[in-house]
Amino acid sequence: MNAPLRTPPPQDAEAARLRSQRVAASGSIMAEWRDGRSRLARLRQEGAAKIRLPRLASGPMEAVLINTAGGLTGGDRLTWHVEASAGAAVTATTQACEKIYRSSEGRAEVSATVAAGEGASVAWLPQETILFDRSALTRRLEAELAPGARGLFVEAAIFGRRAMGETAATVSFRDRWRIRAGGRLVHAEEFAIGPEAGETLAQRAVAGGKTAVATVLLVGEDAEQHLDAARAASGDAGGASFWRIAGTGKLLARILAEDGYALRLRLVPLLSLLNGEAGLPKVWSL
C-alpha cells in the first residue's frame, strides 16, 4: 500500500514559493556600423530583462535596460551583455535606479559584460543602485576592448535614501571589475563591505561615512584631456588619476557624497562630458 503524500510544513511551502519567484533574467544587445551609422545587429531578452531603443536622429545607438521585476533580492540573477562591433558606438543605461531589497536568504547577483571592436565606442552608464538595509548584492563588470576602442564605465551605489529617512546600517555588498584593452588587463578592483568583509562605509579608508559612492573609468586615447574635469567633479572627498597603459589612456575617478542627490550633482556633468557627442541619456536627470 502506498504511503500517503506528506503535506510539507508551512515554512517549507513558503520557502518553495519564494524560490519559484526568483528573478532569472538576461538581456543582450549588439550594435554594428551600417549605412553610415550605428544600427542594431542583435537583440535578445529573457525573463524580466527588457531592452528598449529610443529613436535618435544621429550619434551612437542608445539602449535602455529595464528590469520589469521592479527590484532584486536574495537569490535573484540579472545578466546584461552590451557590444559594439568595429566602428560602431553604443550607450547603455537603465530606465531607473536598480533597487536591492532586504534579503531573507542568499544574495542578489547583477553581472554585465561589455565588448567593443576595433575603433568602436561603448559606454556603460547604468543609473545608481540603491541598497536597502539588510540587502545583499554581488555586482560584476567585465569588459573587453579591441585596439583603438573607447570604453566609458560607471557604477554607483546609494546606501539608503537620505531624503526618505532611510538608513542602511547592515548591507553586504561586493563589487568586482575586470577591464581589458588590446588583450591586456588594464583595470581590476574588488570592493566589499558588510559583516563577512569586516568593512563598513563609516571607516575612513572606505567611504568616511558617506552613503553615496561612484566609480568612473574611461579607457581611450582622449582620456588624459579630461583629467582636470574629473578632479573637479570628484571633489575633496574623491579623486581622479590618469595612466598610460596597454597603448591607450586610462582615467579613473572616485566620487563620494552625502546622499544620492549630491552624488548626481557631481556625476551628471562629468558623464555628459566624458561621453562626447552622445552626452548623457535622457533617462538620467537631476
Whether the predicted pLDDT of 197 surpasses 50 = yes
How far is residue 187 CA from its own chain's centroid? Answer: 15
pLDDT score, position 208: 53
Tell me how far apart the alpha carbons of residues 92 and 268 are, in angstroms, rounded to a whole number.
15
Distance spanning both ends of the chain, measured CA to CA: 69
Name the most confidently modeled range: 1-15, 87-101, 180-194, 201-215. Answer: 87-101
**All structural domains of the chain with their residue ranges:** 22-278
Tell me how far apart the alpha carbons of residues 49 and 113 are, in angstroms, rounded to a whole number.
15
Tell me how far apart the alpha carbons of residues 87 and 171 are, in angstroms, rounded to a whole number.
41
> CA angle, 58 as apex, 53 and 60 as ends, to 5°?
60
Residues 6+ apart with CB under 8 A from 3: none
DSSP annotation string for 163-222: GGT---SS-EEEEEEEEEETTEEEEEEEEEEBTTTTB-TTSTTTTTT-SEEEEEEEESTT
What cell numbers appear for 34 in the block?
Answer: 551600417
Tell me how far apart the alpha carbons of residues 207 and 172 are, in angstroms, rounded to a whole number.
15
pLDDT score, position 123: 98
Tell me how far apart the alpha carbons of residues 112 and 159 are, in angstroms, rounded to a whole number.
21
Residue 164: φ, ψ to 5°: -95, 5
What cell numbers appear for 240 in the block?
Answer: 581622479
> Residues 99-154: pLDDT tens digits?
999 988 899 999 999 999 999 999 999 999 999 988 999 999 999 999 999 999 99
Residue 10: φ, ψ to 5°: -55, -40
pLDDT score, position 163: 61
Q: What is the mean pLDDT of residues 35-52?
A: 96
Are 51 and 40 a contacting pair, CB within 8 Å?
A: no
Whether the predicted pLDDT of 192 surpasses 90 = no
Q: What is the mean pLDDT of residues 75-98?
A: 97
> Residues 223-261: pLDDT tens digits?
999 999 999 998 887 899 999 998 999 999 999 998 989
Which pTM does this prediction carry? Answer: 0.89
